Amino acid sequence: MPLPAPRSSARTERSPSDLQAFDWDGPQLQARAAEWIVDIESETAHPQLQSFLSQYSSHWKNPLDVVCPESLKHVGRRLQDLVLGQTGVAVLKCGAKCSADEARLLQIVLGCEFGCNVTVTPNGDHRPLFALEAVQDPTANGRYSGNGLRGNTIGFHTDGSGIADRNVDLLSMLCVRPARFGGQSRVANAQMAYKSLPPTTRDELAKPFPRESPFAPGATDAGLKSAPIYCEAERNGARYLHFSYHPQRVRNGLGHDMERLEAALKSLNMLDEALERFSCDINLMRNEILFVNNAAIAHDRRAFIDDPLATRLLERFWAGTLINTSVTGGRDDQRTLCAVAGN
């Protein structure tokens, strides 16, 4: 049966010359919501989607044998167009009738269209998605000190900025349960933020910064990953500024480098302010997946307070590349590589 043509909305109203990558501030991104909020039910023939989901939803924990069906490929392409070359951000609405496992399957299958699954999860979880949920032991038994396991604020950051063995190109987060109060996702345009900074600050942010690793908090040895916060890059013929940053981990990584400290901290504070100026809140609701270009756009979330009987739960996926599999170490980490054709 031929597929219905994707029903794109505002995208068709913008002429090609308007389509500049990552050219928004917060209010502009909001105004373009019809372009980057994608409703799977209006994009895909219902019976085909339904039969794929009912056949494979129980496979989401071991998705190696799941291949993105033709009926979903164009949704994957639409998400890639948006995330890699247009807004850098997209939300996929999976629909009210979708079960949590069906939404997880969609997240993995569509996420793997961006690259390999390089999500790091605690082995004991036996699942390919990282559960972002406020837990009693926010270190996940000492394995991870990330903010996602607490209800506090984080600050605009990119994921994987302190991890040396992989590039995280795409981040996606599925909302299984929103918080009772707060917890809204936030995105900031790191490209526009950079352009708003004075040249001395830009120069400072182009120098290598050591970063604390979320899997080895407190380590101060020479093994820390060191990389510039901004560096020029090119992808698919488009030039952009590769952004890699976590406010706390970069500051902790500076340690006692007194020579650098004053100028570096001044630049980091200016960067944080600039990211705020180019940011937008996204109120992710149940069964919605936020896709973020992790090399160009920063993300954050508001502090939250849980309903004790139904705690906030987001599930995180990373697509990207492993840099050197011989040093991935960490017996507690599980890595699931996707086997989806066409990556």
Binding site for ligand AKG (CB under 6 A): 132, 146-148, 154, 159, 173, 185, 299, 301, 314
Nearer to ligand AKG, 242 or 301 (CB): 301
In the complex, least distance from residue 288 CB atom to ligand AKG, rounded to whole angstroms: 12
Q: How many residues bind Fe ion (CB under 5 A)?
A: 1
Nearer to Fe ion, 24 or 130 (CB): 130
Nearer to ligand AKG, 114 or 156 (CB): 156
Nearer to ligand AKG, 6 or 182 (CB): 182
CA distances for 228 relative to 72, 140, 250, 318, angstroms: 37, 29, 10, 21
Half-sphere exposure of 79 (CA within 13 A, CB side): 30
Residues 6+ apart with CB under 8 A from 15: none
Nearer to ligand AKG, 44 or 185 (CB): 185
In the complex, least distance from residue 94 CB atom to ligand AKG, rounded to whole angstroms: 17
Check if the beta carbon of residue 184 is closer than 8 Å to that of residue 26: no
State the Cα angle at 237 between 235 and 240, rounded to 5°.
55
Nearer to ligand AKG, 50 or 248 (CB): 248
Nearer to ligand AKG, 185 or 267 (CB): 185
What's the distance, Cα to Cα, between the start and end of the chain in Å?
25
Q: Choose among 164, 171, 275, 168: nearest CA to 227.
A: 164
From Fe ion, ligand AKG, none, which one binds at residue 335 (CB under 5 to 8 Å depending on kind)?
none
In the complex, least distance from residue 50 CB atom to ligand AKG, rounded to whole angstroms: 29
Among 35, 43, 113, 159, binds Fe ion (CB under 5 A): 159
In the complex, least distance from residue 314 CB atom to ligand AKG, rounded to whole angstroms: 5
Kind of pairing, strands 130-132 and 313-322? antiparallel
Q: What's the count of helices (H) and strands (E) in the chain, helices before strands? A: 11, 18
| Total Cβ atoms within 10 A of residue 115 | 18
From Fe ion, ligand AKG, none, which one binds at residue 132 (CB under 5 to 8 Å depending on kind)?
ligand AKG
From ligand AKG, Fe ion, none, which one binds at residue 253 (CB under 5 to 8 Å depending on kind)?
none
Check if the beta carbon of residue 284 is closer than 8 Å to that of residue 302: no
From ligand AKG, Fe ion, none, which one binds at residue 185 (CB under 5 to 8 Å depending on kind)?
ligand AKG
In the complex, least distance from residue 221 CB atom to Fe ion, rounded to whole angstroms: 24
Give phi and psi for 172, each to the nearest 5.
Answer: -130, 150
From Fe ion, ligand AKG, none, which one binds at residue 93 (CB under 5 to 8 Å depending on kind)?
none
Query: What single-letter DSSP state applies at residue 15?
Result: -
Record the tokens describing residue 77, joined without a space. 């392409």
- Strand, helix or coil for residue 249: helix
From ligand AKG, Fe ion, none, which one binds at residue 94 (CB under 5 to 8 Å depending on kind)?
none
Site residues for Fe ion, 169-188, by CB under 5 A, read none
In the complex, least distance from residue 235 CB atom to ligand AKG, rounded to whole angstroms: 22
Interatomic CA distance for residues 57 and 140, integer angstroms: 27
Provide the binding-site residues for Fe ion, judged by CB under 5 A: 159
